[in-house]
A and B are shown apart, each in its own frame.
Chain A
Amino acid sequence: MELRYPRDTIRNISSVLIRHPAFLGATIGILAAFSQALLISAGGPEAYGFCVACHTRDLVNGMTNIVAGTSLALAAISKNSLLPVMSVAGVLIGGYISATLHREHRIKKGTRIEYLWYFLAGVAVLNLAMIFGGCPYRAALRTGYGDLTAILFIVAMAAGVILGAYLMLKKAEREDA
């Protein structure tokens, strides 16, 4: 029993740690810096270690360019490499592995009109993020890299979230009354 005790403690601590968002935040931050240090020779831009919107753009446009022979715009690091950056495919695979291992994989369906709204939201979010040049994650990486304009993005995003949450709160109150 005495021998098992520290191992259980370590296991408990690691399971709490893995489930805490701050641990993932630290992981992304350090590994994004590491991947830039490792791979920057392939091409820019800087502070590009992890970004859901940009890397989706690179993956889709890069594969379209390879398969269909088009020349859609994408970041230099993906243009120069053999294949474009694959982190979004990795996120899908990693999320699927974790959901399956922990029995949290559930098919959740919606209505067709919901699918349409989510599809349009996807198009809109990607285009808005590309106008800025990054999703919330690259904004955080750019802030860490010292780009002060990215702080403006984060502050504006917080303002948008507060307005949206306020509107949803009002709507919920109206439906209750």
Chain B
Amino acid sequence: MATGILPREAAIFFVPLVTLLLGILIGYLAQRSGYCSIGGFRDYFLFRHTRLLSGYLTLIVASCAGYLLFWFLTPDAMEHFFWALKSGVATPIPGAPGSLDTTAYLIFSIVPGFFVGLIAVFIGGCPIRQTVMASEGNYKAAWFFVGMCVGSVLFAAIVSGWVVALMRSLGFGV
């Protein structure tokens, strides 16, 4: 069990507070910059604009630098950094449903990735851009956000079970 700077009793109290403040800062800056990950790839492909894409690539590099920094400062909190060296090249960080074998999680990376990109480019923005546009008064983006809220209940109640059962029936169970 990883231990962070705050002890567990304080951490469970501070989780909503810290994430709320973090979210307000990110929402403010995202509204200022028009930040969008899908938009970055789209603008680069269509117009060779690199402004938005630089934001997404910086996120990858900066998160790596940030995790490296806090791995030096608080090694207990970064238990499995650098993941590929400690847990295996093809093992994903937990988060996807079910206990399936490695091939299933590779499929879980590629197929949803492709369709997230496809759908998001048609509606003109990734989840954070839609959320910020909803806060700017865009009703279409607000309906996207409502769809995400309904989708999260649907996923937990129904869809995750379906997906795991499907992958098991295809022979990817453990």
The answer to whether A159 touches B117 (Cβ under 8 A) is yes
Give the distance in Å from the alpha carbon of A118 to the alpha carbon of B118 in the complex.
14
Known: A119-B144, A126-B147. A35 touches B18 (CB 8 A): yes
Q: Which A residues touch B163, using CB under 8 A?
A: 131
The answer to whether A122 touches B146 (Cβ under 8 A) is yes
The answer to whether A86 touches B20 (Cβ under 8 A) is yes
In the complex, whether B96 has a CB less than 8 A from a CB of chain A is: yes
The answer to whether A125 touches B120 (Cβ under 8 A) is yes
Q: Which B residues touch A86, using CB under 8 A?
A: 16-17, 19-20, 23
Q: Which of A54, A133, A148, A163 lies in contact with B89, CB distance below 8 A? A: A148
Per-residue 0/1 for A134-177: is the Cβ within 8 Å of any B Cβ (1 yes, 0 no)? 11111111111111111011111111111111101100000000
Q: Which B residues touch A2, using CB under 8 A?
A: none
In the complex, whether A98 has a CB less than 8 A from a CB of chain B is: yes
Interface size bracket, A side: 35 or more
Q: Is the interface of B mostly helix, strand, loop or mixed?
A: helix
Give the distance in Å from the alpha carbon of A156 to the alpha carbon of B148 in the complex.
21
User: Closest CB of chain B to A40's CB: distance in Å?
Assistant: 4
Closest residue of chain B to A135, judged by CB? B127
Interface size on B, residues (CB 8 A): 128
Known: A21-B52, A25-B57, A146-B82. A156 touches B132 (CB 8 A): no
The answer to whether A36 touches B27 (Cβ under 8 A) is no
Per-residue 0/1 for A67-109: is the Cβ within 8 Å of any B Cβ (1 yes, 0 no)? 0000011110110111111111111111111110010111111
Q: By CB atoms of chain B within 10 A, which of A42, A93, A150, A159 has the most? A: A42
Q: By CB atoms of chain B within 10 A, which of A44, A120, A161 has the most? A: A161
Q: Which B residues touch A141, using CB under 8 A?
A: 59, 63
Q: List 5 A-B contacts (CB under 8 A).
A: A21-B40, A33-B70, A38-B14, A91-B135, A118-B143
Residues in B lying within 8 Å of A, measured CB to CB? 2-8, 11-35, 37-38, 40-42, 45-46, 51-52, 54-67, 69-70, 73-74, 77-86, 89-97, 105-106, 108-123, 126-128, 130-132, 134-141, 143-157, 159-160, 163
Nearest 3 CB-CB pairs, A to B? A90-B23, A122-B147, A94-B27
